Structure 1
Amino acid sequence: MSEPGAGLAAGVLLVATPELLDPNFERAVVLLLDVDGDGALGVILNRPSAVPVGEVLPDWDDLVAEPDVLFRGGPVATDSALAVAQVPDLDGEEPVGFRRMFGATGVVDLDAPTELLADVLQGLRIFAGYAGWGAEQLEAEVDEGSWYVVPTAPGDLFAEDPESLWVRVLRRQPGELAWVSTRPTDPGLN
């Protein structure tokens, strides 16, 4: 038997189970950016908005991945922006304005001059708000069956068709999870 909340770490995906009815997270795919004893923080990868980045943060417009819109990162602090990017390992040197969270992925200080990061970013996405959990809250939600905890794959963070990410992530999982991907949004219409 696995430990409660086993597998929760920066870099994994939380995929909402069909039992998770909270409209903030229905069919959400969340990339965990930070997990520690105080809680967890992540961003929803599959909720693009209709707001172009250029309307809100024009300096960053040319650096964001397609689609070049703000994403709804979660229900917390929706009036603030969180930028997530990938930067290769630069021989231990981190570019000014970038803080590595796991692997090549980290957060970008949107107050940093874009010219300091333009040549090293391998992708950038900007989120309005984030998803956050207090100490042991996420573990409890996983244990009660609200979230599947699965590995991330290259391309998840910067998916060009983010709306279909929930289905694609589940479909590539082994066993029963692949079958969950075929569940209609409203089973009553099946």
Structure 2
Amino acid sequence: MSIKSIKKGAILIAKPALTNDIFQRSVILITEHLESGSIGFILNRSSHLPISIFVSEMEAGSIVFEGGPVDKENIYYIHKRPDLIRNSEWIADDIYWSGVYEDVREAINQDLIKEDEIKFFIGYCGWSPKQIVNELDDNSWEITDLDFDLFENWNSDLWKKLMKELGGENLIWLNTPADPSMN
């Protein structure tokens, strides 16, 4: 299941040693990986708030996820509908991110995009050049390929599911509380 190098479309799984609040037990989709840096979105941190709270002109109940600590003033999205959203950027398989906002708003309001075809995020994760490589060398992350439906409403279940699939030494962490001092 593990892969050896970071790439666009890869999944980062936080190792248990990573205790930074925002990244603890997080699962991140890498949407861009260049020499100038990397961008990704946390897939398993729900804000529990619908998109209509953040963007009043969208009439939808899609839940917004906390994409990361960078640029929390903006909404981002990944989706499966480049046919409806112009200038979408391919990530992997049939997954895209970004695109013309007006196309998203119109498709949402006309009920052309279903909740299982788009996922909204407030903020994103960003890494400067070589930062993500250093974090991998420090054993902060496990890298794997995308082999699950990222449009499901994942929370902590996703981290546990992926740790179980990784197996080995990762299995010990499945039933450990996020804060081991609470054990």
TM superposition score normalised by structure 2: 0.83
Cα–Cα, structure 1 residues 38 and 149, in superposed 2: closer, same or farther, change >3 Å?
same
Deviation at 1:98, TM superposition (A): 2.1
Given the alignment of the two structures, is residue 127 of structure 1 paired with residue 127 of structure 2, yes or no? no
Partners in 2 of 1:97 and 1:54 — Cα distance?
23
The counterpart of 1:106, out of the listed 74, 85, 96, is 96
Per the alignment, residue 165 of structure 1 pairs with: 158
Deviation at 1:133, TM superposition (A): 0.3
The correspondence of residues 127-166 of structure 1 with structure 2, limited to 5 A, is 127-155=121-149, 157-166=150-159
The counterpart of 1:30, out of the listed 6, 28, 50, is 28
Query: Match of 2:86, as an amino acid?
Result: V
Query: Match of 1:46, as an amino acid?
Result: N
Partners in 2 of 1:110 and 1:129 — Cα distance?
18
Identity across the alignment (%): 25
The counterpart of 2:176, out of the listed 172, 175, 183, is 183
Per the alignment, residue 64 of structure 2 pairs with: 70
Deviation at 1:70, TM superposition (A): 1.4
Partners in 2 of 1:172 and 1:150 — Cα distance?
10
Deviation at 1:13, TM superposition (A): 1.1
Query: Match of 1:183, as an amino acid?
Result: T
Partners in 2 of 1:74 and 1:45 — Cα distance?
10
The counterpart of 1:51, out of the listed 29, 49, 52, is 49
Partners in 2 of 1:95 and 1:69 — Cα distance?
19
The answer to whether the 8 Å contact 1:96/1:116 transfers is no
Deviation at 1:31, TM superposition (A): 0.8
Query: Match of 1:81, as an amino acid?
Result: I
Query: Match of 2:79, as an amino acid?
Result: A
**SS state at 1:112 partner:** helix
Runs of at least 4 residues of structure 1 off by over 6 A?
none
Partners in 2 of 1:6 and 1:172 — Cα distance?
16
1:124-167 superposed Cα distances (whole Å, 9 cap, x missing partner)? 11111000001100000011011111222221x22224232111
TM superposition score normalised by structure 1: 0.80
Cα–Cα, structure 1 residues 99 and 182, in superposed 2: closer, same or farther, change >3 Å?
same
Per the alignment, residue 86 of structure 2 pairs with: 96
5+ residue gaps, structure 2, are none
Partners in 2 of 1:57 and 1:25 — Cα distance?
26
